[in-house]
Structure 1
Amino acid sequence: MKLLVVLSIKESQERVASLLQDAGITRFSVSDMVGYKKREENLGWFAANGNNAKTNSIMLFSFTSKEIAEEAIAVIDGCNIEANTPFPVHAFIMDVENFSKMI
């Protein structure tokens, strides 16, 4: 089992939800958050523009199979290339080693 985590600006929530559906993810959770950037640096993850930036963001996450999580990354990468926006969607996959079981 994998945990897929997706980060995006709040304004892109519907587009990101659609990308997840295109990848085969039918269940996910969304959490609102605020992102802060205090200095100019580009780590390939945060927006490259602006110092002291504050951004309304979302985190979407889903527990899914390796194949579907990898498909989601591919769909998101394709969307980022096509959209060419200063606020790309970011995603990563984490292994789930163990989890509580239903009795």
Structure 2
Amino acid sequence: MKLVIVTAVEEFHKEALRLFKEAKIESFSTSDIDGYKEAPSLLATSSWFPSVKGGSESHMFFSFTEEEQIERLFHLIAEFNSTLETNNPIRGVVLPIEKYI
């Protein structure tokens, strides 16, 4: 069993859900997150009225699942990303699980 974590900007939320379904990962969780490409300067973040725009609305998906489903998911994500004309692809990582209950 492994932990897979996938992030996607709001624009690709429905597509990410579809990819999980196609990969036959039926149990997963999601969380709304803000994505940042550049860390704002300390000066801008300390202001009450910063001129720096907030992060991009994004989603994080995660699931404890088997390697076979993760391989399929990563294949589907790679296919999806190959068609994009943006620099905000769906991203994924896998973490091994040493112990679980």
* TM interval, short-chain normalised: 0.7 to 0.9
State the 4+ residue runs in structure 1 displaced beyond 4 angstroms: none
Report the counterpart of residue 73 of structure 1 in structure 2: 74
Matched residues, percent identical? 31
Equivalent residue letter for 1:75? L
The CA RMSD measured in Å over matched residues stands at 1.8
Which runs of 5 or more structure 2 residues have no equivalent in the other structure? 40-51
Q: What amino acid does structure 2 have at the position aligned with 1:89? A: I
- Name the residue aligned to 1:10: 10
Structure 1: 5+ residue stretches without partners: 40-50
Structure 1 residue 37: Cα displacement: 2.7
Higher relative contact order (CA 8 A, sep 6+): 2
Q: Where does residue 48 of structure 1 map in the other structure?
A: none
**TM-score, length of structure 2 as denominator length:** 0.79
Larger radius of gyration: 2
Written as runs of structure 1 = structure 2, the 5 A alignment for 1:1-103 is 1-38=1-38, 54-100=55-101
Match for 1:5: what amino acid?
A: I
